[in-house]
Structures are given as structure tokens and as C-alpha cells.
């Protein structure tokens, strides 16, 4: 539902967004970072639909970054490759954007 600054540099995301007709110029900020996010009402509607699935299939729902606060959806902390490497004392670069 959202993107990260390096999305433009990720060849898979870049290819798919281009195929879908997105033009990076429309989403590039003056400082060079990229920002495109779903509107809040879109996120809320998706969350409501996911809550229906939660009830129907008896599953747990968790998010780490969406701006939603609804009973039935737990909030978790986000992890990224750098954080995992730091915690494990490793240097995994295979799963970094673009690789």
C-alpha cells in the first residue's frame, strides 16, 4: 500500500510500475526521493475487506506500517534487511532491492 524511497531503483518494481503506466516523474520529490501511497480511504476499505476475510477464514491480521487502527488488526514492528543483518551479525546482500 505504500512504497519506499529506493523503489525506483528496484528493477522488478520499476518494470511493473512502468508496465502499469506509472511515470516516475509524477512521484519524484524535489530531493529525488520517490513517494506514492494509497489514499487513506483506499487503505481503510482494503482493511475492512481484510477483516471480512479474517472472520471468514479465522486468520490473524497484522500490519507494520499502515495508518489503520481497527480492532482485529494487530500492529507489529517492521524489519528490513539491514536490521536483520545487524541482529544476526550477518551481511546478506542477496535480498536488497534490485538483487
2-45: per-residue pLDDT in tens? 455 556 667 777 788 788 887 777 777 777 777 666 667 878 88
Residue 14 resides in a domain: yes
Entry pTM: 0.49
Cα(14)–Cα(4) distance, rounded to whole angstroms? 12
* pLDDT score recorded for residue 24: 73
Cα(45)–Cα(50) distance, rounded to whole angstroms? 9
Q: If pLDDT is split at 50, 70 and 90, which confidence band does 98 have?
A: very low
Four-residue CA torsion sign, 45, 51, 54, 60: positive
36-78: per-residue pLDDT in tens? 666 678 788 888 999 999 999 999 888 876 677 888 888 877 6
How many domains is the chain built from? 1
Residue 2 resides in a domain: yes
* Cell output for 59: 486468520
The domain in which residue 11 lies consists of 1-37
**Which residue intervals of 37-88 are DSSP H helices?**
40-57, 81-88
Instruction: Decide if 53 contacts 59 (C-beta within 8 A).
Output: yes
Residue 7 resides in a domain: yes
* pLDDT score recorded for residue 7: 62
Residue 28 resides in a domain: yes
Residue 17 resides in a domain: yes
Indicate whether 1 pLDDT > 60: no
Four-residue CA torsion sign, 38, 99, 77, 82: negative
Amino acid at each position: 500500500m505504500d512504497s519506499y524511497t529506493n523503489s525506483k531503483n528496484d528493477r522488478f518494481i520499476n518494470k511493473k510500475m512502468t508496465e502499469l503506466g506509472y511515470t516516475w516523474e509524477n512521484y519524484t520529490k524535489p530531493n529525488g526521493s520517490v513517494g506514492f501511497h494509497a489514499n487513506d480511504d483506499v487503505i481503510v476499505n482494503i482493511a475492512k475487506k481484510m477483516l471480512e476475510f479474517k472472520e471468514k477464514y479465522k486468520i490473524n491480521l497484522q500490519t507494520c506500517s499502515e495508518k489503520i487502527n481497527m480492532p482485529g488488526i494487530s500492529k507489529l514492528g517492521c524489519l528490513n534487511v539491514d536490521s536483520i543483518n545487524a541482529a544476526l551479525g550477518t551481511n546478506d546482500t542477496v535480498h536488497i532491492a534490485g538483487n
